Amino acid sequence: MKNIKLPDRDMWLERHHKLALGDALMGKVVELRGVDTIYEGEHLPAIRDVTLEVSDGEFIVVIGPNGSGKTTLLETINGLLKLARGEVRVFGRDMTRYSRVVRKDIGYVPQDFMSDPSAPFIVKDVILMGRYGKIGVLRRPEARDMKIVEEAMRMLGIERFADRPIGKLSGGEQQKVMIARAIAQEPRLLLLDEPFSNLDIRSKKEIAGKIERLHDEEGLTTIMVTHDLLSIPERCDRMLLMDRGRIVADGDPAEVIRRSEGAGLLLKGWNLK
């Protein structure tokens, strides 16, 4: 009997992920069913009994007081946290099994990223890291990869920082680098956690416009967490209101904001400036 060579596990996962991706993008991109997430060392869930569906091409904004579970929701969708209960699927794939492969198609901008001033990485190399999920860490980037990096820098207006160490940039400039890295990844799902933090008013409006353009031109499914209601893009299709780890409102942005005001949640440390 001949020895049959089995496919590499990562190659097998990648192939099956791509087959599922085409079907998933015709319907639900994100599905959460009765999800509880508990951080290591904690006893109470940071989010509890969360059920959510996100369709292809939707632009969703998540709002809520500090500690309401907004960041945890994004980390859970991105497969960064273990579930205590429930199920998370992205592009139709179970994130408890396929998170490593699926994350190649998820652009993620974490909250309050700040690099060590002594970090040796220059800006264009940090943005190039967004390509590693597509090309692999060991493969040399090709001309197309470098062009994508240049386009991402141009889009965020940070070309002049290309050869500067990221640790030498201001907080707002570093935030733009992280957004550019996510864009360079060519994601099918974009997760933004407080993308306007450390930005001045002018930069907030500029970045909000660029995020809108990505959504409009690429049909990019986007979930954005923000405290800054004044910077919410006009193209927002839907808004989620979180409080104490639960989604307490889900629907039209204007209606959700009215409900949050009625519940007194706007008094819990929100940034309305």
In CATH, what number is assigned to the domain containing residue 250? 3.40.50.300
- Say what percent of the chain tops pLDDT 90: 57
Residue 182 lies in a domain: no
Task: Say if 33 falls within a structural domain.
Answer: yes
User: Would residue 250 count as lying in a domain?
Assistant: yes
pLDDT of 266 > 60? The answer is no
- Rounded CA gap, 74 and 62, in Å? 10
| C-alpha span between 121 and 161 (Å, rounded) | 12
Q: Is residue 141 part of a domain?
A: no
Q: Confidence class of residue 235 from pLDDT cuts 50, 70 and 90?
A: confident
Is residue 134 situated within a structural domain? no
Write down the pLDDT at residue 19.
Answer: 45
Containing domain of residue 83, as a range?
9-16+27-113+188-267
Task: Please write the tens of the pLDDT for every residue from 55-94.
Answer: 999 999 999 999 999 999 999 999 999 999 999 999 999 9
Of 114, 117, 93, 112, nearest in space to 103 by CA? 93
Residue that wins the pLDDT comparison between 245 and 22: 245
Residue 7 has pLDDT above 90, yes or no: no
Q: Check if the beta carbon of residue 130 is closer than 8 Å to that of residue 172.
A: no
Local confidence band at 229 (pLDDT 50, 70, 90 cut-offs): confident
What torsion, rounded to 10 degrees, do the Cα atoms 221, 227, 230, 234 define? 10
Q: CB within 8 A of 246, min separation 6: which ones? A: 47, 48, 49, 50, 69
pLDDT, the chain, mean: 85
- 10-62 pLDDT, tens digit per residue, is 544 454 445 445 445 458 999 999 999 999 888 899 999 999 999 999 999 99
* pLDDT in the model for residue 271: 43
**Token reading at 72:** 């945890």
User: Is residue 247, in this structure, part of any structural domain at all?
Assistant: yes
> Does 2 have pLDDT greater than 80?
no
Tell me the pLDDT tens digit for each residue of 198-213.
788 888 888 888 889 8
- Beta bridge partners, 236, equal none
Residue 267 has pLDDT above 80, yes or no: no
pLDDT digits (tens, 9 = 90+) for 96-131: 999 999 999 999 999 877 666 677 899 999 999 999
C-alpha 88/C-alpha 32 separation (Å) is 5
Count structural domains, the chain.
1
- Amino acid 217: pLDDT: 85
Q: How confident is the model at residue 234 (pLDDT cuts 50, 70, 90)?
A: confident
Is residue 193 within 8 Å of 26, Cβ to Cβ?
A: no
Residue 172, domain member (yes or no) = no
Looking at the domain assignment, is residue 102 inside a domain?
yes
pLDDT digits (tens, 9 = 90+) for 140-192: 899 999 999 999 999 999 999 999 999 999 888 898 999 999 999 999 999 99
